């Protein structure tokens, strides 16, 4: 296996999976390909890849269900969805299930590699010198990349963690959706600011009664409360 780790690709179209494999291997990743959902889920559980690239429309078990089952088992392996339809509903459902990113077919394999690099950087989370940040009962530790609410750990994806970390780094500072796309996802508004809204909603849902730590600034973006 490559030093960069193994990427699981679950895609039933051979032309696409072969192209994705080629570009990922050129970039130094190991690649394992499955062509149906049941085999893909088994591979995700058994091979423990560093990231998964999941087509949404798969025989047997679709990509969203694979992601749902992984997250239900507290498996937060980064997931990027591929969808053949430029359908906002597909994208939002995928993000709500805990996906880190998505691409709509046809897509550039170079862009897929770039998105994977970005999500893996977020997942690896190079240790930061600054100490944990606490607002109310919410505590974020950038070194261990954990978030707790009243002492109980909250399971966040790498993207959700970095989004909350960005907001908590400067309480009271209002970030536009475009700024958050650039700083957290690493690309401009081409990805659509709806991505930010869905991830904020997911973080709030996981914070439960403490969701108000993130406030919406109507017509602008988001900010963390100051205390």
64-89 pLDDT, tens digit per residue, is 999 999 998 989 899 999 987 666 66
Same domain? For 38 and 70 the reply is yes
Render pLDDT for 121-156 as a digit per residue (tens, 0 to 9). Answer: 877 655 455 578 999 999 999 888 899 999 999 999
pLDDT (0 to 100) of residue 127:
47
Going through the chain in order, the beta strands assigned E by DSSP cover 6-10, 30-34, 51-55, 79-83, 101-104, 133-135, 138-141, 146-149, 152-154, 175-176, 214-217, 221-224
Same domain? For 49 and 153 the reply is no
Same domain? For 29 and 117 the reply is yes
Phi and psi torsions of 114, nearest 5°:
-65, -40
Cα–Cα distance between 25 and 3 in angstroms, integer? Answer: 11
pLDDT (0 to 100) of residue 86:
62
Domain residue limits at 159:
133-224
Maximum distance among all Cα pairs of the chain, rounded to whole angstroms: 53
Q: Which of 85, 100, 124 is the last residue of a domain?
A: 124
Q: Which of 124, 148, 172 is the last residue of a domain?
A: 124
Same domain? For 69 and 140 the reply is no
């Amino acid at each position: 296996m490559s030093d960069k780790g193994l990427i699981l690709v679950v895609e039933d179209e051979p032309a696409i999976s072969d192209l994705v494999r080629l570009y990922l291997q050129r970039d130094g990743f190991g690649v394992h390909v499955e062509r149906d959902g049941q085999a893909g889920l088994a591979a995700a559980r058994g091979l423990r890849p560093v990231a998964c690239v999941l087509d949404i429309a798969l025989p047997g078990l679709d990509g969203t269900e694979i992601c749902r089952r992984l997250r239900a088992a507290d498996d937060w392996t980064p997931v990027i969805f591929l969808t053949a339809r430029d359908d906002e509903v597909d994208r939002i459902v995928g993000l709500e299930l805990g996906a880190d990113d998505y691409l709509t077919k046809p897509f550039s394999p170079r862009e897929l590699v770039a998105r994977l690099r970005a999500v893996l950087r977020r997942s690896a989370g190079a240790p930061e010198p600054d100490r944990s940040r606490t607002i109310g009962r919410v505590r974020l530790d950038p070194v261990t990349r954990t978030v707790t609410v009243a002492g109980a750990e909250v399971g966040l994806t790498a993207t959700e963690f970095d989004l909350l970390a960005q907001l908590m780094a400067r309480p009271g500072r209002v970030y536009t959706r475009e700024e958050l796309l650039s700083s957290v996802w690493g690309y401009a508004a081409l990805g659509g600011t709806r991505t930010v809204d869905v991830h904020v909603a997911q973080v709030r849902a996981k914070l439960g009664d403490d969701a108000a730590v993130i406030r919406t600034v109507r017509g602008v973006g988001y900010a963390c409360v100051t205390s």
